């Protein structure tokens, strides 16, 4: 069982580590759903935490169809993350038809090695999830972060279970989208998911809540 915490500042990263999270996904701009954090923040967080650090590589909010300049920025971020000894990067590119841009994705996966790559919730915008899953596996990603479709994970249990079954251990499906201590047990029961993604934010701040992370971990450990 793995609990990944999306963090938007150094304080949340330290809280996540202290509370027992397995991994941090470092982002900036909570309001936009997470975009690429600054190089300064990446460097600082890498120095301060010892758990796995994955970095969001998303040059802007909005859709996932990127210009050539934006694509070059993504490459620069990935190379910087390699220099900082990050463990992984998180990105996803779609074409104008909301299909996986397999060629560009594969190029970034190759550039990222030996870091791990997660295809983020751009997956939930794809028109044909089964085709997208196949293309993402073929592109070399290690994981897909998904809520199983529009909305939160708890609303898409059947689809999440279907995706996990289709993955056949060729790729890890991370359940994300509204994951909380009150819902995580049901998601495990209904889908068989083993990796979970949450910001653990329970108020109007953008700081991860230590108690909420601990509660989620308690549920995960009880399922081992």
pLDDT at 223: 62
The fraction of the chain above a pLDDT of 90, given in percent, is: 94
pLDDT at 54: 98
Across residues 70-85, what is the average pLDDT?
98
Number of domains in the chain: 1
Q: Is 137 exposed, middle or buried (0-12, 13-18, 19+ CB in 10 A)?
A: middle
Across residues 32-40, what is the average pLDDT?
96
What are the CA-CA distances from residue 72 to residues 27, 107, 108 (Å)? 19, 11, 10
pLDDT in tens, 106-129: 999 999 999 999 999 999 999 899
> Is this prediction's pTM over 0.85?
yes
What is the C-alpha separation between 162 and 45, in angstroms, rounded?
36
Beta bridge partners of 63: none
In 3D space, the residue among 14, 27, 11, 18 whose CA is nearest the CA of residue 176 turns out to be: 27
| Residues recorded for the chain | 224
pLDDT in tens, 173-185: 999 999 999 999 9
**CATH of residue 81:** 3.20.20.380
pLDDT at 136: 98
pLDDT at 153: 96
Q: Is 98 exposed, middle or buried (0-12, 13-18, 19+ CB in 10 A)?
A: middle
Containing structural domain, residue 137: 2-222
Residue 172 and residue 163 in contact, taking contact as beta carbons nearer than 8 Å? no
């Amino acid at each position: 069982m793995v609990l990944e915490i999306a963090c938007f500042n150094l304080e949340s990263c330290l809280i996540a580590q202290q509370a027992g999270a397995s991994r941090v996904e470092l982002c900036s701009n909570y309001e936009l759903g997470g975009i690429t954090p600054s190089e300064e923040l990446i460097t600082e967080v890498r120095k301060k935490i010892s758990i796995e650090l994955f970095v969001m590589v998303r040059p802007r909010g909005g859709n996932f169809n990127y210009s050539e300049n934006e694509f070059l920025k993504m490459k620069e971020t990935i190379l910087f993350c390699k220099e900082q000894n990050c463990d992984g990067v998180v990105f996803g590119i779609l074409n104008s038809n909301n299909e996986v841009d397999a060629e560009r994705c594969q190029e970034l996966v190759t550039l990222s090695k030996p870091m791990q790559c997660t295809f983020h919730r751009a997956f939930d915008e794809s028109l044909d999830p089964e085709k997208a899953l196949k293309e993402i596996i073929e592109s070399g990603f290690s994981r897909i972060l998904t809520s199983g479709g529009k909305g939160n994970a708890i609303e898409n249990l059947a689809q999440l279970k279907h995706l996990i079954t289709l993955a056949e251990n060729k790729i890890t499906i991370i359940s994300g989208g509204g994951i909380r201590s009150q819902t995580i047990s049901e998601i495990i029961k209904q889908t068989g998911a083993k990796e979970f993604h949450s910001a653990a934010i329970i108020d109007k701040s953008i700081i991860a809540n230590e108690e909420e992370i601990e509660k989620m971990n308690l549920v995960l450990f009880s399922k081992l």
